[in-house]
């Protein structure tokens, strides 16, 4: 009982629980989110996290206060270990997102943004995944869970970067 009171008193909470993304400066900001690639799962995660951060996602480019443009989301899988039979048993999974953050005054035209003058930001996250060739179905399920966690982490990091841009 004493331990739980101490943990609650010091502000401890599990990752993903609490006011992790509830930035007061993002309240009532109208955000236009554009995703230029086909990663629908990352797009959905980013939309959920932006709504959780109390932003208003709008569809009109011209009436947005800020623009968040996701240029690319790339996922790579490289072998980093082999078993005694010479088959890969450990992989490094790397996910990378490239994006632009800009205010309406900075971005006159979404199509004109992508060029040499823009300050594209790149964030990446990687994980090592052990692959057991005897349990391929379970391993594929575990890999899906790891990719979902990586998407969630990247989404939160994109929103943190967005928050820094908004508060400058």
Mean pLDDT of all residues in the chain?
A: 78
What are the backbone dihedrals phi and psi of residue 18, each rounded to the nearest 5 degrees, phi first? 100, -160
Please tell me the predicted confidence (pLDDT) of residue 158. 92
pLDDT for 65: 86
Contact 131, 88 (CB under 8 A): yes
Distance (Å) of CA 144 to CA 62, 108, 155: 37, 39, 16
The pLDDT of residue 95 is 94
Give CATH for domain 20-167: 3.30.160.150
Q: Where are the domains of the chain?
A: 20-167
Which residues, including other chains, have CB under 8 Å from residue 26's CB and lie 6 or more apart?
53, 54, 55, 163, 166
Interval 59-88: pLDDT, tens: 888 888 888 889 999 999 888 887 777 777
């Amino acid at each position: 009982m004493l331990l739980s009171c101490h943990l609650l008193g010091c502000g401890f909470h599990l990752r993903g629980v609490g006011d992790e993304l509830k930035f007061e400066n993002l309240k009532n900001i109208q955000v236009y989110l554009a995703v230029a690639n086909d990663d629908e799962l990352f797009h959905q995660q980013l939309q959920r996290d932006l709504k959780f951060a109390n932003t208003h996602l709008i569809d009109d480019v011209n009436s947005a206060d800020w623009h968040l443009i996701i240029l690319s989301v790339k996922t790579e899988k490289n072998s980093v270990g082999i078993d005694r039979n010479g088959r890969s048993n450990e992989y490094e999974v790397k996910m990378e997102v490239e994006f632009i953050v800009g205010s309406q005054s900075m971005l006159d035209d979404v199509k004109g943004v992508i060029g040499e003058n823009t300050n594209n930001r790149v964030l990446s996250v990687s994980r090592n995944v052990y692959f057991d060739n005897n349990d391929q179905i379970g391993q594929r399920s575990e890999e899906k869970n790891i990719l979902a966690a990586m998407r969630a982490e990247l989404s939160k990091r994109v929103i943190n970067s967005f928050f820094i841009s908004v508060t400058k």
